A and B are shown apart, each in its own frame.
Chain A
Amino acid sequence: MIVDLPSTTTSQVNKKMVELRESGGAVALGRVLTLVIVTDDSSETEQAIQAANEASREHPARVIVVAKGARQAAARLDAQIRIGGDAGASEVVVLRVYGELAEEGAASVVPLLLPDAPVVAWWPNDSPEYPAKDPVGELAHRRITDAAAEPDPIDALGARTRSYVDGDTDLAWTRLTSWRALLAAALDQPPFEPIRGATVSGEADSPSTDLLAGWLASSLDIPVHRKVNREGPGIVSAVLERPSGNVEVVRPDGKIGYLTQPGQPDRRVALERRAVRDCLAEELRRLGPDEIYESTLRGLSEVVREDPDEHAEESEPVSAGQQS
């Protein structure tokens, strides 16, 4: 069911939600968190809500969408409540804020937060420079950004490093989990030799490739090379060098990975790129600080970028912390 409340206030929204719950019978009260989605009022808003609804099947949430409309307009709040079939396992409140209100999104969110339950903020695109200092970000226990959706993803990673506060996370990092799991599992098996070097390749503007390199650099404490590979979408390959032979994972088509290890037959692995809703569901599973993500961001400065032709100026180690 979708209920529109044009030009309204949050207390009317709250009242309407209680009313809907009572008239609609026992709509579940067991929400585990509030997810606040901050977007511009555009077509992408609907995609984000869709992803949140799907993720909500795993984590029933109240989803509050703050869609910022035209700043020049008169201050106004239009609300829309969705429950039942239109909201997955969640209840969705879309707040369209115009004029001065657009800058004060947090003020409209506070009255609608669930008592006691954790708050997660998600910027599907255009995340703030300092997520933790953003008015909505300040309310949240966890702040999800997406470097891949920024105009310059690699630059965005630099910004993340500068602005990192416990509770920050990025979907570019979540997309990596299956790669990291595969590499970690490969090292669970003998021979247990030290890793001498590592190389990661992927699209020039794939932030996940950079993060994979950063993760390897910080956990293995060795220089990691980051190469550009125009062949495939996202990450294309990762190589760990060991004295007895390399561990190699290559994924040329963004779907199937090829795992090569010395002394073992080559194997094909399903390594499909992950959909946003899967990543979001994974993010919502952990509500504490992600220390590994933090050290990965710090590890980015240890990554040696190899960009033979195009980005010649970036071929020095990216010292993200010092970029202006």
Chain B
Amino acid sequence: MNRFTTILLAAGISAATMGATYAADNIKIAFIDPLSGPFAATGKQGLAQYKFAAEELVNKKGGVLGGSKFEIVAFDNKISAKESLIQLKVAIDQGIRFIVQGNSSGVANALTDAIKKHNRRNPEDRVIFLNYSAVDPALTNDKCNFWHFRFDANADIKMDALTDIIKDNGNIKKVYLIGQDYSFGKAVAAAAVKFLGEKRPDIEIVGNELHPIGKVKDFTPYARKIIASGADAMITGNWGSDMVGLGKSVISAGFKNPIFTYYAATDGITKTFGEAGEGVVKLVGEGQLNPPVSDRADAYTKAFKAKNPDLDIGQPRITNVMEMLARAINDAGSATDMVKIGYALEGMEHDSLWGTKVKMRTVDHQAIQNVHILAHTKSGITHDYDNSGYGLKTESTVEMASADAPTTCKMDRPAQ
């Protein structure tokens, strides 16, 4: 009898401590993005947003699975594919099962490939890849796999929305396309040619070129060409320092026509464009900061700014990544069964903080959401970027953009 109670007691204690450690155990999320090098600014901002979103939207609300907290662990990949794979290994070795990455589709292609291989070879410690920014369409088409989820609208979806605006602008007769020489830049150019050809066959594409990513010292010769070509508008997918450099050169060379972009905001870009960009720079993207969609979104943005005075919410979708992951873990009832979490995440419908519905398409793991055309402006800005007084204001919205777009994705699904 005595012995029996001892055993019972021991079992009870160990169960209790196990439960306690389980609840206190943080769920680690590896953030693999550039924190040094030419694109460090973009990576740093993303990291701050993840930390803030995890704290505000998950941890302060009691975490997941009854008390587990999200913890963001940063890994600097120096925007190199090789370094990302090393960091991926380090992260997996540390027991991290969730990978978030976004900067550079080149890196995302390498990561999704490596994760697919890893999950096949090591079924006992699989990982999930939450891609929040790499928008090369191939990731949810030919290269798709079950472990990859994309939360941003891909390059095709964005270009579809962008060309809707260009379509109605009769002043635009000549367009110049310029981008970074890698999968994403090529995807933007291809999408632009395709959609412009469909919607405005009369527009002449007077230039279509790619420059090496992160290596151009001086964009002046490119700017000269653009002006000399007599283009009425310019389309670029450039981001990070390549966008700053290109924008600076083009404006100082005297370009005054519309510039249609994907990422011409924050990280010093908004400040660089400043007054010269008013009425000129248009962006296509998800997430609406101005005017604020709700008091909650307004308060969230203000709180972020109070904590990170030099940074901005440049990638609003990060809140969706955190909230949807938290929901998926709760739905699956486990933070370790990746198959269950994967199935919970696909097909999920979510009401975003930024006022849109987000639906993670089951067939290719592409998030479908409202896509906005945003204007770089000073008027009507509640939340500016770069502390410059300028910010992005929503001009028009495409509801649930490209919800029925076809995909070539053929996914191998693991047994449930």
Tell me, yes or no, whether A binds B: no
